[in-house]
Structure 1
Amino acid sequence: MKEVTVEDLKRMKENGEDFQLIDVREDFEYQMSNLEGDNIPLSGVVIEADKISKDKPVVIMCRSGKRSAMAVMQLEQQGYENLYNLKGGILAWQQEIDPNISVY
Structure 2
Amino acid sequence: MKDINQEEWRKLISTDENAEILDVRTPEEYDEGYIKDAKLIDIQQPQVFMDEVEKLDKSKNYYIYCRSGGRSSQACQILNQMGFENTYNLIGGFSKWEGEKQTS
User: How does the TM-score come out when normalised to structure 1?
Assistant: 0.79
Distance in 2, Cα, partners of 1:17 & 1:72: 18
Structure 2: unaligned runs, 5 residues or longer:
none
Map of 2:56 onto structure 1: 52
Map of 1:41 onto structure 2: 42
Structure 1: unaligned runs, 5 residues or longer:
none
AA aligned opposite 1:17: D
Query: SS in structure 2 opposite 1:22?
Result: strand
The number of residues matched between the two structures is: 97
Q: CA deviation at 1:63?
A: 0.3
Query: Could you say what the CA RMSD is over the residues aligned between the two structures, in angstroms?
Result: 2.0
The answer to whether the Cα contact below 8 Å between 1:22 and 1:61 also exists between their aligned partners in 2 is yes
Q: CA deviation at 1:16?
A: 4.8
Runs of 4+ in structure 1 over 3 Å off: none
Aligned-residue identity in percent: 33
Q: CA deviation at 1:76?
A: 1.5
The answer to whether the Cα contact below 8 Å between 2:5 and 2:90 also exists between their aligned partners in 1 is yes
